[in-house]
C-alpha cells in the first residue's frame, strides 16, 4: 500500500509541476498587445539627415529602424495605414505589395540640407536599398517614395492591417508591426 501511495503522490507532484511549466511557457510566448492600428505621430519636417533604414525579425513582430544620427528623441514622424501610396511632393502613385500599406513620413531628409549630398540612396518607386523582407512573417514590400522639404516618405507593405507601434529612441525611430492581433506567436 505504501508503494501505491508513494507512486500516486509522485504522479500528483509531477502533474502539478507540468501545470506550472506549461503556464510559465504560455506566459513566455505571449506577445505585447494593445498597440492598435490607428495613425501615430505628428509634425515631420526636420533638418538632420537620414543615414540608413534596416529591418529585423522578432518572435512577435517585424521591425523597421530609421537611423538618424543626431536626430534625438524629438524626431518628427507620421505613420498610418493607407489604401494606396501617393508621393507627397507630386501625388504620383507608387505601387506597394502586401495586403495593407503603412505610409511612413519621418522628419529627416535623405540628403544633407546644407550641402545637398545624398545620405540615403533611395530611388523613388524602388525597394529600399539593402533591405530584403522576403521570409518575414508580416513585412511584404518596401518602397522609397522620396524626400521633400525636410521629410522622407516610405511605403511599407504588410501582410494585413495589423497593430503597430512607433518608438523614438536616441538617434533612431523604430516601427514594430505585430504578426497578429491576438498577441500569440
Specify the pTM. Answer: 0.82
* Structure confidence at residue 80 (pLDDT): 98
* Structure confidence at residue 6 (pLDDT): 54
Statement to judge: residues 53 and 24 lie in one domain: no
- Asked if residues 173 and 149 have their Cβ atoms less than 8 Å apart, the reply is no
- Burial class of 159 by CB neighbour count within 10 A (0 to 12, 13 to 18, 19+): middle
Statement to judge: residues 151 and 72 lie in one domain: yes
Q: What is the mean pLDDT of residues 124-141?
A: 96
35 lies in some domain = no
pLDDT digits (tens, 9 = 90+) for 63-96: 999 999 988 777 889 999 999 999 998 999 999 9
Statement to judge: residues 24 and 51 lie in one domain: no
The count of structural domains within the chain is 2
184 lies in some domain = no
Tell me what the pLDDT averaged over the chain comes to: 86
96 lies in some domain = yes
Range of the domain at 100: 40-178
Residue 124 grid cell? 523613388
Which CATH number goes with the domain that contains 61? 2.60.40.3500
**Whole-angstrom distance, CA of residue 155 vs CA of residue 125:** 9
**Percentage of the chain exceeding pLDDT 70:** 82
185 lies in some domain = no
Statement to judge: residues 158 and 106 lie in one domain: yes
24: confidence class by pLDDT, cuts 50, 70, 90: very low
Q: What is the mean pLDDT of residues 145-165?
A: 95
Statement to judge: residues 24 and 80 lie in one domain: no
122 lies in some domain = yes
Residue 83 grid cell? 489604401
* Structure confidence at residue 128 (pLDDT): 97
Tell me how crowded residue 25 is: count the other CB atoms within 10 A of its CB.
9
Amino acid at each position: 500500500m505504501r508503494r501505491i501511495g508513494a507512486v500516486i503522490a509522485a504522479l500528483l507532484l509531477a502533474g502539478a509541476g507540468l501545470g506550472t511549466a506549461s503556464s510559465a511557457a504560455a506566459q513566455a510566448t505571449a506577445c505585447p498587445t494593445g498597440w492598435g492600428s490607428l495613425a501615430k505621430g505628428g509634425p515631420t519636417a526636420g533638418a538632420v539627415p537620414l543615414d540608413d533604414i534596416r529591418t529585423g525579425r522578432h518572435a512577435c513582430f517585424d521591425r523597421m529602424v530609421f537611423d538618424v544620427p543626431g536626430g534625438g528623441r524629438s524626431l518628427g514622424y507620421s505613420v498610418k495605414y493607407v489604401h494606396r501610396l501617393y508621393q507627397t511632393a507630386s501625388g504620383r502613385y507608387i505601387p506597394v505589395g502586401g495586403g495593407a500599406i503603412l505610409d511612413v513620413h519621418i522628419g529627416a531628409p535623405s540628403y544633407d540640407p546644407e550641402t545637398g549630398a545624398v545620405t540615403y540612396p533611395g530611388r523613388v518607386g524602388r525597394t529600399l536599398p539593402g533591405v530584403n523582407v522576403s521570409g518575414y512573417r508580416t513585412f511584404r514590400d518596401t518602397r522609397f517614395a522620396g524626400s521633400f522639404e525636410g521629410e522622407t516618405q516610405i511605403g511599407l507593405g504588410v501582410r494585413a492591417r495589423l497593430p503597430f507601434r512607433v518608438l523614438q529612441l536616441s538617434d533612431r525611430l523604430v516601427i514594430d508591426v505585430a504578426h497578429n492581433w491576438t498577441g500569440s506567436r
